[in-house]
């Protein structure tokens, strides 16, 4: 896959949308750049330089003007790749990133079945220690994250490969149910979970492979 790169203007818009650029800094850039006037239609440029950037609606109004110039699929792809790379590099906020994968799964990115439900939900609802990730000690958080390795590394790489090789194509759009839409070219084999076992026939619910390993270890103790 060719590298996705943002030009200077796309980068500023991307950073604004992802809260990595404040509206005041965006305002300063709008007034100070010459490329923007050539990039936008004259009426849109006039609206941007006339906005009241002190208004609490300024960000939304700016994005509304820029909406037609944004390749949302490209933006969304770069955002997801960045998150996956942070997780792969074991970012200091990896727990929060995995929780974000869980909510992205809930919002329609069902290819995050393993990363979201398998790992993210285990962080969001850390049943062994309590009800909330933010209430855990650093030691408890570390214990949970460490329990995911080494399997999680291959699962993150697998998700990255799907996107980079266009097995998964993010559209940057949502459907009428407010769920993210994507195009899925994965084979049935590629869709198989590495985290979840087949449905438990007795309980009618899925069981994680980590949980299954614990059960096997416990049962072998009594043999």
For 7-55, write each residue's pLDDT tens digit. Answer: 889 999 999 999 999 999 999 999 998 889 999 999 999 999 999 999 9
Q: How confident is the model at residue 121 (pLDDT cuts 50, 70, 90)?
A: very high
Q: Is residue 126 part of a domain?
A: yes
- 62-111 tens-digit pLDDT: 999 999 999 999 999 999 999 999 999 999 999 999 999 999 999 999 99
- Is 201 or 57 the better-scoring residue by pLDDT? 57
Mean local confidence (pLDDT), 170-191: 96
pLDDT beyond 90 at 201: no
pLDDT (0 to 100) of residue 197: 57
Q: Is residue 220 part of a domain?
A: no
DSSP code of residue 4: P
For residues 162 and 130, membership in a common domain is answered with: yes
Q: 180 has which bridge partners?
A: 174
For residues 59 and 140, membership in a common domain is answered with: no
Which is nearest to 60 in space by CA: 91, 23, 90, 94? 23
pLDDT beyond 70 at 175: yes
Q: Is residue 137 part of a domain?
A: yes
For residues 140 and 184, membership in a common domain is answered with: yes
Q: Is residue 142 part of a domain?
A: yes
For residues 100 and 131, membership in a common domain is answered with: yes
- 126-147 tens-digit pLDDT: 988 877 999 999 999 999 999 9
User: What total of structural domains would you count in the chain?
Assistant: 2
Domain holding 169, by residue range, is: 72-191
For residues 77 and 185, membership in a common domain is answered with: yes
For residues 81 and 163, membership in a common domain is answered with: yes
Report percent pLDDT > 90 for the chain.
77
* Kind plus residue range of the DSSP H or E element containing 202: none
Q: How confident is the model at residue 196 (pLDDT cuts 50, 70, 90)?
A: confident
pLDDT (0 to 100) of residue 48: 95
Q: How confident is the model at residue 209 (pLDDT cuts 50, 70, 90)?
A: low
pLDDT (0 to 100) of residue 203: 46
Question: Could you give the residue ranges of the DSSP H alpha helices within 3-137?
Answer: 8-17, 23-32, 35-39, 42-50, 58-66, 72-88, 94-106, 121-124
- Is 206 or 149 the better-scoring residue by pLDDT? 149
Average pLDDT, the chain: 88
Which is nearest to 97 in space by CA: 82, 113, 109? 82
Q: How confident is the model at residue 125 (pLDDT cuts 50, 70, 90)?
A: very high
pLDDT (0 to 100) of residue 215: 36
């Amino acid at each position: 896959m060719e590298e996705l790169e943002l030009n200077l203007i796309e980068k500023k818009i991307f950073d604004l949308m992802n809260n990595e650029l404040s509206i005041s800094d965006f305002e300063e850039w709008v007034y100070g750049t010459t490329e923007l006037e050539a990039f936008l239609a004259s009426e849109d440029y006039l609206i941007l330089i006339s906005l009241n950037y002190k208004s609490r609606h300024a960000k939304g109004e700016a994005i509304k003007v820029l909406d037609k110039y944004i390749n949302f699929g490209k933006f969304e792809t770069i955002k997801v790749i960045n998150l996956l790379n942070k997780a792969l590099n074991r970012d200091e906020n990896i727990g929060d990133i995995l929780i974000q994968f869980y909510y992205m799964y809930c919002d329609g990115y069902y290819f995050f079945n393993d990363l979201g439900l398998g790992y993210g939900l285990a962080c969001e609802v850390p049943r062994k220690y309590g009800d909330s990730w933010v209430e855990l000690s650093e030691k408890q958080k570390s214990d949970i994250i460490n329990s995911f390795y080494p399997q999680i590394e291959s699962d993150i790489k697998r998700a990255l490969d799907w996107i980079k090789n266009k097995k998964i194509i993010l559209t940057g759009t949502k459907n009428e149910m407010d769920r993210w839409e994507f195009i899925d070219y994965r084979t049935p084999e590629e869709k198989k979970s590495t985290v979840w076992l087949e449905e438990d026939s007795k309980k009618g619910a899925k069981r994680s492979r980590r949980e299954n390993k614990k059960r096997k270890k416990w049962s072998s103790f009594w043999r």
